[in-house]
Amino acid sequence: EAGVTQSPTHLIKTRGQQATLRCSPISGHTSVYWYQQALGLGLQFLLWYDEGEERNRGNFPPRFSGRQFPNYSSELNVNALELEDSALYLCASSFRRTGGIETQYFGPGTRLLVL
Amino acid sequence: AQSVAQPEDQVNVAEGNPLTVKCTYSVSGNPYLFWYVQYPNRGLQFLLKYITGDNLVKGSYGFEAEFNKSQTSFHLKKPSALVSDSALYFCAVREISSGSARQLTFGSGTQLTVLP
């Protein structure tokens, strides 16, 4: 069974540009989570999508946004890039269980470098 | 608010010796607890989780973790370390009654180095 996939693996942008990162969840998973792993800041939650809707977002400015498509894949958009947006962006997927606990499985990440 | 502490940035252990990576957590209610491992330039790989029941949880690659409610700890252990276990380990928590907040809160990570 294929795991979570992310593209591109690396992305280089300049300050002020926009970046688009993509994630395909494990087949059958309906939830997608986005996390940022920046140097010195650890892993921080960005966004959670389930069944096509944004369910929760972390403490990030509105220029971080995304969406989930009908096939449950997801896109993370970062507008007006700043130098501190340079990080590894990790996508995770899970099968949402009502009243239960799901395990999040992570993709390999997209490394974004903002120059 | 929920939080996780991994008090050791770095743990060194000799190959063949037992290893322990420490984790303590803070939640208002009952926790779900996870351990993940990250190899260089890779994503996170799931190792094990605690939901309820037995305090000793067994996971992948011979790892296990012990849940201790009174000490609010969830330490990761392995009886005999391998050089290939060298990686960055993350502990994570989610409060059971967190409603719509299903994201994980991660610790800062512990770099484990197993010396040959």
In the predicted model, is pLDDT for residue B89 greater than 70? yes
Q: Do A58 and B36 touch (CB under 8 A)?
A: no
Distance CA B31, CA A40 (A): 26
CATH number at residue B95: 2.60.40.10
Q: Which residues 64-93 of chain A have a CB within 8 Å of chain B?
A: 90, 92
Q: Within chain A, which residues score under 50 in pLDDT?
A: none
Best mutation site among A1, A43, A56 for testing chain B: the one with the most B CBs within 10 Å? A43
- Tokens coding A46: 């960005």
Distance CA B105, CA B103 (A): 7
Domain A5-114 has CATH 3.20.20.140: no
Predicted confidence (pLDDT) per residue in B23-77, tens digit: 999 988 888 999 999 998 788 999 999 988 889 999 999 999 999 999 999 999 9
Distance CA A105, CA A32 (A): 10
Distance CA A41, CA B7 (A): 15
Other residues' Cβ atoms within 10 Å of the Cβ of residue B82? 14
- Tokens coding A113: 């470098």
Determine the structural domain holding residue B91 and report its residue range: 3-115
Structural domain count, chain B: 1
The domain locations on chain A are 5-114
